Amino acid sequence: MPNLDKTHDPTLKCWVESANEPDCDFSIQNLPFGIYRHNNVGMQVGVAIGNSILDVDGAIEAEVLKVPDEVSTDFCLGSLNEIMEHEPSVRRTIRLAISELLREGNADLRDNTDLRKSLIIPIGQVEMELPAWIGDYTDFYASIYHATNVGKMFRPDNPLLPNYKNLPVGYHGRAGSIVVSGTSIVRPNGQTKADDADLPSFGPCRLLDYELEMGFFIGCGNAQGKRITMSEARDHIFGMCILNDWSARDIQKWEYQPLGPFNAKNFATSISPWIVTLDALEPFRVEQLQRGDDDPKLLEYITPTENMGYDIIVEVHISSKQMRDASTEPMRISKGNFTDMYWSIAQMLVHHTSTGCNMNPGDLLASGTISGTAEDSRGCLLERTWRGQNPISLPDGTERKFLQDGDEVIIKAFCEREGAARIGFGECRGIIEPAN
């Protein structure tokens, strides 16, 4: 059962009026953390509330926000890493203090006009940065529907490899090329080989794709040589964000054997700027996808000890340059749900550390492409157009098999259910620029 407290109360209202709108991503029940710049000041810790940001360090300095003494200085360091590494009980104390400050009945900041003006900053006036220093990044392949679809394209007689239902498959990505939402993505060059060619060639990627994913940040880590167990996993995860694992499919096809993804995925990974904490997601924690009757029995170390599925609705929208020039709304081409993942974030983390691999605060793990059973729930163009055989028609009259220069991919994610307040992750955006 979800562990709920008064921060989850769906009747709570905020004195920041925009936070009370029914379709608001950043309600008072959410309170996601991010890093921003404002008025040429260095990077600062903020909490999104409605269409604004609470300057957390400023609120602590002004003594309107009371947090434990041992964490008060962590908010002036321009990164979330130090906050992430605290135990869950400390993080929940911080969340409760912020919730109480922003509730409509609390006048401490609400009625101090000058202080409120300096500490509540419109999101449109800031520049968002990566929310943490990311030391390591690992991407998984946790959707059985995605793995099956891709397998059918290349191995129709044996779409799932023998190990898929026994362990969460993943690869080590490149942390240094992770960028925040809004950063342009330059089309990569690479070595490819056409099926009818004798030799490979080098040039711009022709089959550029997005991958709809969710990422999750490690909170308190584990020492090298000490693994994390399933019963401990939730306490080691700080929160989640939207993630787009940009993929060069033609480069990937030529290079992926025998060691898997390399240049096809190392050029860019985009993430949304706000980390929604696991505490905020607690009302939407559910049972994960059921394994089939014929699936192999899980080994004990990755057998679930509690529900670790999350009911998160995910959407992909595309906007061409022509559409933006004509002020045409982006077109939604995919809608899925994170409950369709075969492996949970707890299982991904536990398997990753099962060798004694050490995790550190701010390390980022990703789910892999989120796909469901319906055609419009497929989480990448490779699946959505079935290798380009079924192009998608856009409102500007053009078709898409894969991404073209000038295309903007917009990924959104949010949680809704009866009896709980809506919370969202914001957006993860990126425009494709021509190859150099």
CATH code for position 415:
3.90.850.10
Is the pTM above the cut of 0.85? yes
Query: What average pLDDT does this structure show over 410-426?
Result: 97
Residues 209 and 90 reside in one and the same domain: no
d(CA 236, CA 222): 8
Structural domain includes residue 274: yes
> Which stretches within 53-125 are classed as H helix?
56-61, 81-84, 88-102, 107-110, 113-119
176 and 113 in a common domain: no
In this structure, are strands 185-186 and 423-433 parallel, antiparallel, or unpaired? parallel
208 and 309 inside one domain? yes
Based on the domain organization, do 183 and 314 belong to the same domain?
yes
Q: Are residues 250 and 391 in the same domain?
A: yes
Which residue range(s) make up the domain with 372?
Answer: 137-433
pLDDT score for 317? 98
Q: Are residues 279 and 373 in the same domain?
A: yes
Distance CA 85, CA 51 (A): 28
Domain total for the chain?
2
The C-alpha angle 105, 424, 3, rounded to 5 degrees, equals 70
Q: Based on the fold, state whether residues 245 and 351 are members of the same structural domain.
A: yes
pLDDT of residue 158: 83
Instruction: Tell me the two tokens of residue 365.
Output: 């793990």
> Could you tell me if residue 1 is inside a domain?
no
Same domain assignment for residues 240 and 259: yes
Which of 129, 146, 171 is the last residue before a domain boundary? 129
Two structure tokens written together for 343:
């492996």
**CATH number of the domain bearing residue 101:** 2.30.30.230
What is the structure's pLDDT at 41? Answer: 86
89 lies in the same domain as 178: no
- Indicate which residues carry an active-site annotation: 146
CA 131 and chain centroid, separation = 12
At 78, phi and psi to the nearest 5? Answer: 75, 20
What is the per-residue pLDDT across 225-246, written as a single tens digit (0 to 9) for each?
Answer: 999 999 999 999 999 999 999 9
165 with 183, same domain: the answer is yes
Share the mean pLDDT of the chain: 97
Domain boundary among 101, 129, 157: 129
User: Within a domain: residue 165?
Assistant: yes
**Which tokens belong to 183?**
């950063």
Instruction: Please check whether residues 212 and 261 belong to one and the same domain.
Output: yes
Of 82, 111, 129, which residue sits at a domain end? 129
Whether residue 155 has pLDDT greater than 90 = no
